Homo-oligomer: A and B are copies of this chain.
């Protein structure tokens, strides 16, 4: 995974160690476009908001959603820092705008890291000119590395689709978040960058993409105070709807963005703090799409389910009990529980003869499947998480120390 990930033409990126993190790792990254291009953003639902969120909202509003540069620091969330923190964010935006010679409202500056500490503004401002000047077309990985907190590796996804006129359209996704499973240093930052243009409203489209991707990585995915998802497009190639072999509509740009988002979302689950397994919770038999999400999240956040996966224990009883406790109706007589291909509970009773196969699945596969059918309706969905190891505890007990 070390081949360069391309950015769409017209975008450049870079990352470096400015001095925010004590361990010398990269902590400041920038994405720059040659011109201001349209961007669409989604922010956390947490009542506590990182300082960057009100400033980003204001800038997007004042610029009509046109963005020239996105700066990101890791190591400090600039959150719960009051009006001083908002001022800090503006000061850094000003430095970027001055250096690039663009209006300040075309600059977004995002932060992720520890809550409650003031940003080292001078350190960041000093690093801005050098960082912007070295931004280059192959800089996506550098940028992805600079925004990491407890991530163990950078997260990038990329593909090329064909526009309606046949032109190649680059779709690139970059994300961070190893503890997105939980808030705090767990901020999810995700960037989808492309040159495609859609007939549909991409602000609405972004919400639908998030619902199928980042919102399906366990329960705290949308609740960290700093969570931000940005879709940014040079919008130079029309990607109009087509039809598949059954005549059903296909939205090539949205579908590609969803694939990139799903890929990043699964990378985040796989890189969960202390994780040894990527866990896909398959949910069936629900009465709505929202129910699949609620039930899947409940199972996927159960510490008992997650520790059982770490122990390679095909403990279907914990899955069924979590499903029973999630507040949604479940028909125990019609409910089914499976691990991998092994059915462990159905028709109201367990199938202990299949436990050995389920255990083998947990032992052998790095990507494991836990399944629950609520027996109530026709809706299906997936949620992704990771197992829960003793390393998770040590990572989080020692994080600030």
Chain A residues packing against B (C-beta within 8 Å): 45-48, 77, 79-84, 114-117, 179, 182-184, 186, 220, 223-225, 302-304, 307-308, 310-311, 313, 315-318, 320-325, 329-330, 332, 345, 348-350, 352, 388-390, 392-394, 396-401
Question: How far is it, in angstroms, between the C-alpha of A116 and the C-alpha of B319 when the chains are bound?
Answer: 11
* Minimal beta-carbon separation of A75 from chain B (angstroms): 14
* Minimal beta-carbon separation of A383 from chain B (angstroms): 17
- Name 9 extra pairs, CB < 8 A, besides A116-B350, A184-B318, A303-B303: A48-B323, A48-B324, A80-B317, A183-B322, A304-B396, A308-B397, A310-B393, A311-B397, A390-B394
* Minimal beta-carbon separation of A284 from chain B (angstroms): 16
Question: How far is it, in angstroms, between the C-alpha of A156 and the C-alpha of B184 when the chains are bound?
Answer: 38
30 contacts between A and B (CB under 8 A): A47-B330, A48-B320, A48-B323, A48-B332, A77-B317, A79-B317, A79-B321, A80-B349, A80-B350, A81-B349, A81-B350, A114-B317, A116-B352, A117-B352, A179-B304, A184-B318, A224-B321, A225-B321, A303-B392, A307-B392, A307-B393, A307-B396, A308-B396, A310-B393, A311-B399, A313-B399, A388-B393, A390-B390, A390-B394, A392-B393
Question: How far is it, in angstroms, between the C-alpha of A220 and the C-alpha of B325 when the chains are bound?
Answer: 8
Closest B residue to A350 using CB positions: B116
Cβ of A401: which chain B residues have Cβ within 8 Å of it?
311, 313
Cβ of A323: which chain B residues have Cβ within 8 Å of it?
47-48
Question: How far is it, in angstroms, between the C-alpha of A17 and the C-alpha of B390 when the chains are bound?
Answer: 33
* Minimal beta-carbon separation of A350 from chain B (angstroms): 4
* Minimal beta-carbon separation of A337 from chain B (angstroms): 9
B184 with A46: CB separation less than 8 A: no
Cβ of A46: which chain B residues have Cβ within 8 Å of it?
321, 324-325
B397 with A310: CB separation less than 8 A: yes
* Minimal beta-carbon separation of A83 from chain B (angstroms): 8
If A318-B184, A321-B224, A325-B46 touch, whether A313 touches B350 (CB-CB below 8 Å) is no
Cβ of A311: which chain B residues have Cβ within 8 Å of it?
396-399, 401
User: 4 shortest A-B CB distances, which residue pairs?
Assistant: A115-B317, A311-B397, A48-B324, A223-B325
Question: How far is it, in angstroms, between the C-alpha of A220 and the C-alpha of B322 when the chains are bound?
Answer: 10
Candidates B45, B186, B321, B394; contact of A115 at CB < 8 Å: B321
Question: How far is it, in angstroms, between the C-alpha of A320 and the C-alpha of B115 when the chains are bound?
Answer: 9
Candidates B82, B313, B324; contact of A348 at CB < 8 Å: B82
Question: How far is it, in angstroms, between the C-alpha of A184 and the C-alpha of B46 when the chains are bound?
Answer: 30
Cβ of A186: which chain B residues have Cβ within 8 Å of it?
304
* Minimal beta-carbon separation of A354 from chain B (angstroms): 12
* Minimal beta-carbon separation of A49 from chain B (angstroms): 8
* Minimal beta-carbon separation of A352 from chain B (angstroms): 8
B82 with A303: CB separation less than 8 A: no
A183 with B321: CB separation less than 8 A: yes
Closest B residue to A77 using CB positions: B317
Closest B residue to A318 using CB positions: B184
Candidates B48, B183, B349; contact of A304 at CB < 8 Å: B183
Question: How far is it, in angstroms, between the C-alpha of A330 and the C-alpha of B398 when the chains are bound?
Answer: 28
A345 with B116: CB separation less than 8 A: yes
